[in-house]
Amino acid sequence: MPGTNTKVLIVGGGLAGLVLAILLERGGIDYLILEQSVLIRPYGSIIVISSLVLPLMEQLGVLEEIERASLPFGGITLLRGDQSVVGKIICDGRNGGLDYKQR
């Protein structure tokens, strides 16, 4: 496709849209990202990237930067609709925590 008038329109500047933009950039394909939000702001909650996606992040050359910006994940508290606790999942590395390559 390089050298043609092909232009890709990416709707949404989230994780998938930005990954697609990186791939298109590497392929020499022109693209435009449209995002409805005028501000970049934290959501106020966690963002979890599945271990299934980490090899892709490594191939894109952004895994080290993601790791530098990341905080350890300690666990999840599961709540009912009335906010009472159902249970907790602890992920502190002591219970067989493996990095994504070992999994």
| pLDDT, tens digit, 9 for 90 and up, residues 33-88 | 999 988 776 655 566 777 788 888 899 898 898 888 887 667 788 889 898 999 98
Q: What is the mean pLDDT of residues 10-39?
A: 91
Give the angle 58-66-20 at the CA atoms, nearest 5°: 60
71 and 32 co-located in one domain: no
Kindly state the DSSP code that residue 16 receives in the 8-state scheme. Answer: H
Whether the model pTM is above 0.85? no
Q: With H, G, I as helix, E, B as strand and everything else as coil, classify residue 92.
A: coil
Residues 21 and 66 sit within 8 Å (Cβ to Cβ): no
Residue 7: pLDDT over 80? yes
28 and 52 co-located in one domain: no
Cross-strand partners of 85: 79
Q: Containing domain of residue 81, as a range?
A: 44-93
Domains: count for the chain: 2
